[in-house]
Chains A and B, each alone.
Chain A
Amino acid sequence: DGGITQSPKYLFRKEGQNVTLSCEQNLNHDAMYWYRQDPGQGLRLIYYSQIVNDFQKGDIAEGYSVSREKKESFPLTVTSAQKNPTAFYLCASSSDRVGFQPQHFGDGTRLSIL
């Protein structure tokens, strides 16, 4: 079955540590997205990529980094510069690079601070 796989499901970060969240899709979609969701809130865009080897900052990119070396993969690194990283992180993909088709989501990674 085609879909988006995020791993791990739960992740704990120590002070000063960088952590990387994995996102893989087998839908052959060009566009991929990373969102952050805080309790009781909507989704906020961190980074997005419309094509391999290219990505753009979203609304809350500070303290995060991404890469897009393969079409299938869009990993997110939460750096030590992100002072409030505790949140639910969601990865999505879409067949339309400019956002006029639905985005399909993985089941998220919940990141907490030790």
Chain B
Amino acid sequence: GESVGLHLPTLSVQEGDNSIINCAYSNSASDYFIWYKQESGKGPQFIIDIRSNMDKRQGQRVTVLLNKTVKHLSLQIAATQPGDSAVYFCARANYQLIWGAGTKLIIKP
């Protein structure tokens, strides 16, 4: 079946540095991937999405890269700020959303 997994459960980054959160998926049935941010006690918040006809997509301070050859996608956050502290999920869409377990991003002052 399909699965989505993040490489690290926790990532610590110095404030002002760039953060890279990685995600792998198991097969290529889906053509739509989404990154969400979840702050403590709140629902997930949409960050950015990418479809399989693209390799890269940029938003405000965030970039998502999709490598279909190795079935891997990454979320890059530029100039990480304290407000970026959260759990980040990648999800793939195939009529339903299939979620990874999340990576907790910790910002060191």
Q: Which residues of A contact B (CB under 8 A)?
A: 4, 6, 33, 40-45, 48, 58, 90, 92, 98-100, 102-108, 110
Contact = CB atoms under 8 A, between A and B. Distances in A.
A107 B43 contact: yes
Nearest to A106: B43
A40 B42 CA distance: 14
Interface string B20-53: 0000000000001010000001111110010000
Interface stretch (B67-75, B77-85, B87-95): B87-95
Interface stretch (B11-19, B54-62, B98-106): B98-106
B43 A108 contact: yes
Contacts of B89: 42-43
Given A99-B32, A104-B46, A106-B43, 11 more contacts: A4-B43, A40-B101, A40-B102, A45-B97, A48-B96, A98-B95, A99-B94, A99-B97, A102-B49, A105-B43, A108-B43
B42 A99 contact: no
Contact of B34 (A4, A40, A41, A102): A102
Contacts of A4: 43
Contacts of B9: 40
Interface of B: 9, 32, 34, 41-46, 49, 89, 93-97, 99-102
B99 A43 contact: yes
Contacts of B100: 42
18 contacts: A4-B43, A40-B9, A40-B102, A41-B101, A42-B100, A42-B101, A43-B99, A45-B97, A48-B96, A99-B32, A99-B95, A99-B96, A99-B97, A100-B93, A102-B49, A103-B46, A105-B45, A107-B42
A108 B2 CA distance: 26
Contacts of A90: 43-44
